[in-house]
Amino acid sequence: MNDFIGRLFLTFGIPLFFLLIGVVLKYFPPKKINYFYGYRTEFATKNEDVFKEANRYSANLFILLSILLFVINVIMFIFNVSSAIMGISFGIYIIPLFISIIYLTEKHLHKIFDENGVRRDYNSNRSYKVKGVGDLNHINSKNAIKTEKKYVIYLSLLIFAISTIINLILYIKLPPQVYIHFGLTGNPDEWVIEKTIAIVVDEIILILGWLGVFLPYYWIFQIRRNRFLIIFLLLIYSFLELVIFDTLYYNIYKMHIINFVTLVVFLLVSFLLVVIGILHENKKAR
């Protein structure tokens, strides 16, 4: 029963989440270039014209992505694939899909705009001024932005290294067979694997999680003064590692260190960070 609920959540919940992103970007796009909300790459933030087109186009791609995810998950649901396998599969194929959205959006932008962010169909004999170019004056130098990003990457790698060391320490105490999937009540189900395979799978999940969270942050987001997204990303990755640690901890001591209350608190804190970040950016834009 618990596995069935998990499969339903993955089948409908995840596609709905990406559909929500696409709908919000399409019908409630950011009004101005900011550090927190919307599609942001170095080229997409050339000016407001490029920024608006990037958000419009990427919103459509997110909607298509939600449909694709729904089709894939429905197929796995029909063939009675377990929620654990569906979750691992999602972690594997979501990264290439995200990269595809970035690649297609950037290709679309470079097709419409030149390297200066001016539309290629512009008549050069007329006077022309791109609205919003001056809005980028408040952004600090690219070197300062890259330096800050490097510190965030170093911190995330430190978190990953600490988690790996803890996993190796727990590996010594693990029983030969390890539970890897739990129901809503916190009790393990029939999914049991060897402890060596469990550690390998955990490390793969941590690596994929790091690539999915921090690689786009380093390559895409133009962040300098707003710290809310940085804290949010570190919080997400730390929580992922905490879930993995909780799984290993249960197999050793037969008790959890996180529960439903912990999950609710995490979601509330994450939601508050997003709201505060958006309000902060709107205040700066006025």
Q: Which residues pair with 193 in a beta bridge?
A: 178
- Whether 137 has a pLDDT exceeding 50, the answer reads no
Q: Which residues pair with 119 in a beta bridge?
A: 113
Interval 212-259: pLDDT, tens? 777 777 665 554 445 667 777 788 888 888 888 888 989 998 888 877
One-letter-per-residue 3-state SS of 78-143 = HCCCCHHHHHHHHHHHHHHHHHHHHHHHHHHHHHHECCCCCECCCCCCCCCCCCCHHHHHHCCCHH
Element (H, E) at 15: helix 14-27
- Whether 56 has a pLDDT exceeding 90, the answer reads yes
Residue 87: predicted pLDDT: 76
Tokens 């197929």 belong to 75
Model confidence pTM above 0.75: no
Q: How far apart are CA 66 and CA 16, in angstroms?
A: 7
Interval 97-123: pLDDT, tens? 888 888 889 989 999 998 888 888 654
Residue 263: predicted pLDDT: 73
Interval 173-217: pLDDT, tens? 899 999 887 776 778 877 788 888 888 888 888 888 787 777 777
Residue 115: predicted pLDDT: 86
At residue 139 the predicted structure's pLDDT band, cuts being 50, 70 and 90, is: very low
